[in-house]
Amino acid sequence: MPRISIEPGRAIVGPAGVTLYRVGVQKDVQVDGPSGQTLSRRYVAVDGGMSDNARGVLYDADYSAVLAGRKVTGNHVLSRIVGKHCESGDIVVRDVYLPTTTARDDLLAVPATGAYCHSLSSNYNLLARPAVVAVKDGASRVLIRRETEEQMLRRDTGFAAQD
């Protein structure tokens, strides 16, 4: 008798999660294309990264992204979304076409980040972990509060003078 099993985290929770990032600085660079031609790639830094989604650096997970919060028309440019950790593996989305009008403080939505992103999150580089929010029918509810810097640093006992 065949047996079918699923992993609820990836099958149910994964597709249901969306991570929102705020765009920071951007930089256009020239890179070698697959056939030797030179391509332009835009690096888009966001306010998160491998501390809130370690699946890219750990498992080579592949994500996409879209500009959220405003309607977009016009041209798009090959982009790489990178985190704020200054690590070579801190890539949120390896290759995606984003609007050329993407600007600082825009919101980027990265879908299918529900499975394991929060449970794998860390305080790498002393960043506080983000909130987890449920949204249904236009209403939102915080499921897990954003971690504050005070909460994160509360574990630090400091350096006491030794007598």
Catalytic residue status for 117: no
Q: 93: burial class by Cβ within 10 Å (0-12, 13-18, 19+)?
A: buried
Q: Which of 25, 86, 144, 153 is catalytic?
A: 86
Under DSSP, is residue 95 helix (H, G, I), strand (E, B) or coil?
strand
Report the largest interatomic distance among the alpha carbons of the chain, rounded to a whole angstrom. 72
Q: 17: burial class by Cβ within 10 Å (0-12, 13-18, 19+)?
A: middle
Distance CA 111, CA 128 (A): 21
Catalytic residues: 86
